[in-house]
Structure 1
Amino acid sequence: MGSDGSGLFSLVWGLGATSAGLVLVTNFRGAAEWLVYMQDRRARISSRMRLGVTGTRCLGGVFAVVGLPVLITGVIDAAEHGLDGKTLPRLPLPFAAFMCLIAVLGLWSLWRPAGPLRPMWTNGFGLRRTALAIQTAAVPAFVFFLWSGNSVAMHATWLTGMAATLTALASGPSRRAPAAP
């Protein structure tokens, strides 16, 4: 590591991987069951891709175990060199436009009537709705900061979006998969 901004990436990636992995491995508020349920609702490319609750929890465990040393490395590097992220090269406009298109399609998929965020918004209240709004705003902000080359703002947006996602999952009633008929 060094003062090239990789410590900032390690800090953000390690925090996200560790926290998301812990949420999945402990099945906090039915998060692993909810992800499997959402996977079953979508059209699968192959039936071999289905992990199930146990596989999802094991994958979460891998992220929690791998994320912790990366997080520790990022904290050590941030303590030694600060959070001075280097300026990234500005992306070409066609590539940025393609990223915007992917972001819009992803948000549409999440917010459409059958998407996972619509019922969370409908059944939510203050904290959950605020977290969902921040999570949604973080996507285009991340693309903008990546395009503009602002590494620190890009990583801060990434971290904010992850925190908002975990807050939305943790607030309100559990989203366990409904019982099979």
Structure 2
Amino acid sequence: MDGTNQTTVTEFIFLGFSAVLYLRLTLFVVFLTVYVLSLMGNSLIIFIVLTDITLQTPMYIFLGNLSFLEIWYTTATVPKLLATCLAQAVTISVSGCLTQYYFFFSMGATECILLAAMAYDRYLAICSPLRYSLLMSLQVCLRFSAGSWIGGFIAPLLPTILISRLNFCGPQKINHFFCDSDPIFKLSCSDTFL
């Protein structure tokens, strides 16, 4: 301890957008509209893939997974984004910030892995059309999907654990609308090298 009086930060403040009220309200309406349309569109895709038996092929199962993922990916950040549009400053606890960080990056990692699996599926369909149904059976497709979700949730685990061990003692303001690693590192009074 260096003898200075330091207060441990227990919550962060998202500064969000401009102080101009009409601009924030306009952004709120735009973001809310896009968010609701995204939820409706992705839910519709999931519903159609689940109910239409002819669409229960690997390509559409992957698309259904991607739609489900997109619902949760946007939901990890958009509610706080909407709150920052309505208020000039919105608070989030440090644990809430870490939870948001983990889920945001879990969904991002899952999306990357899932897109790679989808690319492999299309590669097999184009380059090995006669053996495609043997190589990409429903069981293999479901394993790829499950592996995408499991791998996506494991990938950001270590960085999240390391970030959770940081101490925050400086200004608690984040000039952003969600918990990203760079703003979190800037607020830490611990060594962030690792």
Same fold (TM over 0.5): no
Question: When you count helix as a share of all residues, which structure comes out higher?
Answer: 1
Q: Please, what TM-score do these two structures have when normalized by structure 1? A: 0.29
Larger Rg: 2
Q: Please, what TM-score do these two structures have when normalized by structure 2? A: 0.28
